[in-house]
Structures are given as structure tokens and as C-alpha cells.
Structure 1
Amino acid sequence: MHNEMMHRPVVKPAVLDFLRQGTTQLTGALGELEQQAHEKGVPVIPHETVTFMQTLFNLKKPQTVLEVGTAIGFSASLFATCMGATGRVTSIDRYPLMLEHAKENIAHLGLEGQIKLLAGDAADILPTLTPSYDLIFMDSAKAKYLDFLDDCLRLLAADGVLLIDDVLQGGTVFADAATIPHRNKAIYRKLNQLLTRVFNDSTLVATLLPLGDGVLMITKK
């Protein structure tokens, strides 16, 4: 579960320290879950992404969210909490162990009525879903992001927001291909193809945010 890129920030250490320690912290059971995840090295979204999500949800006020990559259920729980009792989150994950942890955490937070977990491969599940979602968050296998993109755009509401997490690989996504270790070459290639596709698509508006290991934010024109 360890994610080495969590320790390879793309912003200066002093800025990162403020983003993670100096901004408003989560409280209660959700704050405890975030702290425990960081202490155990569980790959959840970093705190700078948490505060961005809180601001975005406050502005957009989404009521339906689709998440690809549940992990321990932290981000799904954050989304549900931001939306309030009427908001609904659908989250997909292929790993039974992760889903078990997510179920326990979601139950502990009392959010079972707001979060629906779907077990299986997103490649199989996404085509079966029907539009539309106000916000979609992809945080799964990076080499699969491009494969999931068309379905996510199909499922996204006309005024919705698609967020794709961890697209910078510690900044190495823009390095010379010859310097990339063999084990990371497929991810490197696929992430570059994703960025090329998104930023050259005349039907989309996109920006790259230096939060955590990079968040790609996409809306439809």
C-alpha cells in the first residue's frame, strides 16, 4: 500500500509544511482516520488536497459523486461529509481487503446511507453506470486513467468536474524517458498520453494543480 510519491512533493518543503500543518485541520472521527492513515503510511489524499476538496465542494455543491479507487474510504467519507446528508457517493474498488477496511471506516463514521461501494474492476463497472455525476474523482491505477477517461467523461454532468489524482509521479512524468526505471515506464507513458489527450481536446477545459502528486482538473466546454 505504500506510495513513494507521497514523499516526493513537487512544491518547496516550507510551502508543503504549511499546506499540511498550517491550514484548517479535520476534526472528529474523520480527522482521526486521516491521522491514522498518515501514521501507517496508507495512501490517502494529502491534506492540501483535502482542503482543496472542501473549497471545491463548497463552491460547486455537488450532490452525486463517483469515485474510482476507494482504498480505505477516506476520500469517499470526506466527500459525503462535505455534501451533507443529501449527498451520495458511489465508489469502485477491485481489492477486497481495501473494501473491507472502507466498509468498517464508513460504518464508524455513520456514512453507510450516503456511500455505495461497488466491488470489481472499474473497466467492467464504468460502462454499466448511467449519467450523470456532478463530480468524478479518479484515484486508482495510474496506467489505467487514460482507459477510463472516455467513460468518466460520458458519466460526467455537463457542468461537472472530473479530478484525476497523482498524475505527476513526483515530477518525473516530464523527465526524459531514458531516465525512467523500467518498472515505471508504462505509467510514465500512459500519464503522458493522458495529459496530451486532455490538453489537446477542444471540448475540454483542463488545468494541472500541484497538490500532492498532482491533480488534473477537467471540465467540459
Structure 2
Amino acid sequence: MLNEMMHRPIVMQKVVDFMREGQLDFEGGLGEIEAYANELGIPIVPHETAKFLDFFTATMQPSQILEIGTAIGFSASLMAQHLQADGHLTTIDRYEKMYERAKENFKKLGLEDRITLIEGDAADVLPNLEGSYDLIFMDSAKAKYIEFYPECMRLLRQGGVLIIDDVFQGGTVLDDEAEIPKRVRKIHRKLNELFDTVLNDKSNRSTLVPLGDGLLMVRKEAA
């Protein structure tokens, strides 16, 4: 499950190298999980995106977080450390192997009581969730983002923030569809549909951040 887009930077390579090597490593168990994933090529957020999430969640101090796409639990663990005292994080993943590794990592970090891990397809899980989330982090099947988007906005509280990871496909999302390999054309179409939907929506506030393979951030303005 190698993430080939991590090796197709959307900004200058020397800037990417600086952001990945010039910022402090995470300490303790969190740093061990990141190093393990990078060594084996397990798709987690790259270091520059992780540092941004660390900064953003520490500043926001959310009470309720929802994550779509757990992998081995790195980003969930990173965000959970900045929850309010009575806060909770819910994360969804459909891959049993990832699910089990994440569960082990949450236990190792002492986070099993602060994180609920749901095994299943987000398409089935999201419509059954209730609640008001301060922060939603979506890092799952790229072709499904546009499908999950309305559910995310339903679950997000007014003033809450949705962060969508890996939206640029190494910059190829801007290319003509005819130039895109057939195996990833659906992703290309669906990401462009997501851009059209989000960036032209005047009822909410959105921005693009060129970290990793790109972040699309949405602040829910309307109730």
C-alpha cells in the first residue's frame, strides 16, 4: 500500500526536504509509529502534514474529532493528544489488518479510552453517526471524498473544520483527463468534482494548503 504521491511533491523538492527534515521529530510512542510506517511504506500523513495537524489541533483544542481512514492510528493518536480533558476521537477504517494495528498502537499509547475505532466502510458508517464534531479529518479513498462530503458537513458543528487530505494527486488533478492513466481517472474526476463543489460554495469558508499531497480545508459557517 505504498503512497506513490508522497514522492511526487507539489512544491519545490528542497522546500519539502526542509519541511520534513527541519522540523522536530515526534517523541516517544508517536515517533516510533511514524518511523515504523515510513520504514515499511505504510500510508500515513507525511511529516510536514503531521506537524501541521499537531499545531492546528493543539491550537483548536477540540472536544470531538472524527477521522475517516485510520491506517495504523498515527494521525488519530497525534490529534487525540490535544483533545480537551473530556474529549473523544472516533475513527473509521474498513481494513482489518490496519484496524488491528491501530488498536494495538492506541493501547500502547494509553489512548484506548479516548478513541473509538469503528471497523467498516465509511459509506455505511457515516449515515448512522450522530453528534456534533469540532474537527473532521478525512484521509481515505479519494474517489469517495465527494460522496462523504455531505455527511461530514452534516456531522460538523457550526464553526467546525473539515480537513481533507491528499487532494492534488501529485499535481495531476489539474491535468486534462485524457492525460490521466485509465486506472486513476475516476479519482481524477471525483477530486475535480469535489473542488467544484467546495471551492464554489459561498455558504462555507474553504482554503487549499500545499502540504504533503495537498489539504482542502472547510470551515462550516452555516448552521
- The residue type paired with residue 91 of structure 1 is T
How many Å separate the matches in 2 of 1:84 and 1:74? 19
- The residue type paired with residue 201 of structure 2 is D
SS of residue paired to 2:188: helix
How many Å separate the matches in 1 of 2:111 and 2:214? 28
How many Å separate the matches in 2 of 1:79 and 1:58? 8
Matches within 5 A, 1:87-106: 87-106=87-106
Matches within 5 A, 1:163-178: 163-178=163-178
Matches within 5 A, 1:96-135: 96-135=96-135
The answer for the alignment partner of 2:141 in structure 1 is: 141
Q: How many residues align?
A: 221
Displacement, 1:84?
A: 5.8
Ranges of 4+ aligned residues in structure 1 off by more than 4 Å: none
How many Å separate the matches in 1 of 2:168 and 2:117? 28
Q: Is the 8 A contact 2:208 2:215 kept in 1?
A: yes
How many Å separate the matches in 2 of 1:196 and 1:115? 33
SS of residue paired to 2:211: coil
Question: Structure 1 stretches of 5 or more lacking a match?
Answer: none
Displacement, 1:172?
A: 0.2
Q: Is the 8 A contact 2:62 2:84 kept in 1?
A: no
How many Å separate the matches in 2 of 1:220 and 1:156? 7
Residues 1:186 and 2:186 aligned together: yes
| CA deviation profile, 1:127-184 (whole Å, cap 9, x unmatched) | 1111200000000000000000000000001010000000000000001111100001
- The residue type paired with residue 173 of structure 2 is V
Matches within 5 A, 1:1-221: 1-83=1-83, 85-221=85-221
How many Å separate the matches in 1 of 2:21 and 2:140? 26
SS of residue paired to 2:163: strand
| CA deviation profile, 1:191-218 (whole Å, cap 9, x unmatched) | 0000000011121111111010001000
Question: Structure 2 stretches of 5 or more lacking a match?
Answer: none
Question: Which is further off, 141-150 or 87-96?
Answer: 87-96
Normalised to the residue count of structure 1, the TM-score between the two structures is 0.97
Normalised to the residue count of structure 2, the TM-score between the two structures is 0.96
Identity of aligned residues (%): 56
- The residue type paired with residue 101 of structure 1 is R
SS of residue paired to 2:97: helix
- The residue type paired with residue 48 of structure 2 is E
Q: CA RMSD in A?
A: 1.0
